[in-house]
Amino acid sequence: MDLNFELILTVLFLVAGLFWLLNKFVLKQAEGLAEFMGSLAPVLGFVLILRSFIIEPFQIPSSSMVPTLKVGDFILVSKWTYGLRLPVLRSKIVEVDSPKRGDVMVFFPPHVDRYFIKRGSWFAG
C-alpha cells in the first residue's frame, strides 16, 4: 500500500488553515489545540508549495536504474521542468517543456497508484 503523502499534506494544511482563520477572526485568543493547529498552517503551506511546485524527493523503487542509481537511493525531482501540475489531482496547468532522451523521469502510469522512475531512452525527441 502506497501512502498518498500529497493528499495527507493537503488535508492537514486545509485543517490547520481553518484553525488559523478561527484563531485570527473568531476566537481572537485561542489556547491549546486550536492555537497549535493554527500555528502549523504557515509551515504546512510552505511544505505543500515546495513539494507541489518546486522540488519533491523520490526513492528509487526498483533496480531498473542500476548501475547509476541503486534501489533505495533518493533523488530530488524538479517539478517545473516539464510543466506545473495541481497537487493531488495531478492535472497539468502549465506546459513548459517535453522530455528529452536521457532524462530521468518520474511518472504515474494511468490506473496505477505508484510511481515509476525511468531513464528517457524511449521518449520522443
d(CA 55, CA 92): 16
d(CA 79, CA 54): 5
User: Is-contact 56 34, C-beta < 8 A?
Assistant: no
Q: Which of 109, 118, 71, 68 is nearest to 90 (CA)?
A: 109
C-alpha separations of 40 from 4, 19, 117 in Å? 20, 9, 32
Catalytic position from the list 64, 92, 98, 100: 64
91 is catalytic: no
118 is catalytic: yes
Active site residues: 64, 118
